[in-house]
Amino acid sequence: MHIVLDDTAMAAAGQGNVLASRLIHRAHAQAGWYLYAPACALVEADRARPGTAEHLAALPGITVLDLDLPAALAVARHDTWAAAHCQYAAQPTPDRPDGAVIATAAPDRWTGEPVRVLDLTP
């Protein structure tokens, strides 16, 4: 299972959201579970809740996704960098032919977007 954390999911994890915590634990403890933190979303999460970026980047089950050239070009076409980087990260790749699911605490943000969403609201 490949899951991209958006900025709201990252902030929710820092605030003790049980569902986000379970995802983080599962990615650390179970084979086949992967969590990704796109750099642009990590910045927005840290702006909303200072300390979030350092905390999440230190967790062994989370892979921080850099803003490489293809990601930067995709992000440049959108208004919000955090959501655009998450959407780009969730697209299918050779390593993830089915793409990834976006975990979010604000599922309405993704309405109408071509992504699968995992709602973390309690």
Widest distance between CA atoms in the chain? 37
pLDDT given at position 77: 83
**Both tokens assigned to 105:** 């605490």
State the Cα–Cα distance between residues 92 and 45, nearest whole angstrom: 24
Rounded CA separation 27/80 (Å)? 27
Q: What is the pLDDT along the chain (122 residues), one digit of tens a residue?
A: 999 999 999 999 988 899 999 999 999 999 999 999 999 999 999 999 999 999 999 998 999 999 999 889 988 888 889 999 999 999 999 989 999 999 999 999 999 999 999 999 98
What's the pLDDT score for residue 76?
Answer: 85
